[in-house]
Structure 1
Amino acid sequence: MKRKKKMIIWTIGLLGSIGLIFGLNYLYRTYRYKQIVADIVIEPVDLAQISDGVYSGEFDALLVGSKTKVTVKDNQIAAVDLIEHKTELGEKAEKIVDDVVKQQSLEVDVVSGATNSSKVILKSIENALNSAVDK
């Protein structure tokens, strides 16, 4: 009987420790995610310096990430394809790609209720356009 009690206490302790580790890891990742998103600065890109082509960009903020392909034609953003959008609640931010094409700028309003996803998608588009400038 004593052995059974020890086994139960050990099992509860082990499960509690595992839960604590996962909980602390989640809290740390959430903290880092908030820091990364808070530090995002979207810089304007000079489309006049970008040759025609399709450019890929991505940005990962741990809990939210984005991969995009930007098509440039005649120094204009012809299309933005959202290849991947890792998110939990920010799906409505995906419409921001249409605003970028329409306004021909990264200086668009973020989607209310999906601010972090909006910023991550915009940074991914910026990275795609900057990869074109770097070539």
Structure 2
Amino acid sequence: MTDTVLDKMGGEPALKRLVEHFYDLVEARPEGAQIVRLHMDGHGIAATREEQFNFLSGFFGGRHYYKERHGHMNVKLIHEHIPILQEDAENWLALMDRALADLGHSGAHIERVRATLRRVALALVNNGDVVGEQSARRDAV
């Protein structure tokens, strides 16, 4: 049996540490300010920490907590109501890269993770063209 990315990272405890450290950076660093604002329009950072762990667990080959709870893992659907600019995606990626590095995650599997996260994050850029009521919100910020 082949180890999953989650296994290679150290399992669920390591993923939990990564998600917590990532959102600590998001809340502390200037490049995270807009990410925080975007999450405040939803359920807040505390809920996002939990949902990010749930999603990434399945995404990295572990238990599909997010799918069990929400019935899908469609990342575009998850974010369709959020106005996401290129800068937001780049900031998210930079903070995730820092979190991975800070916690000592390295190796070929982490480079594949970074490349995959980059493709996904950039695919979510919608330049404010969103579904629902938040479409006008971006202009107000």
TM-score higher than 0.5? no
Q: What TM-score do the two structures reach when normalised by structure 2?
A: 0.31
More helix by share: 2
Structure with bigger gyration radius? 1
Q: Which has the higher strand share?
A: 1
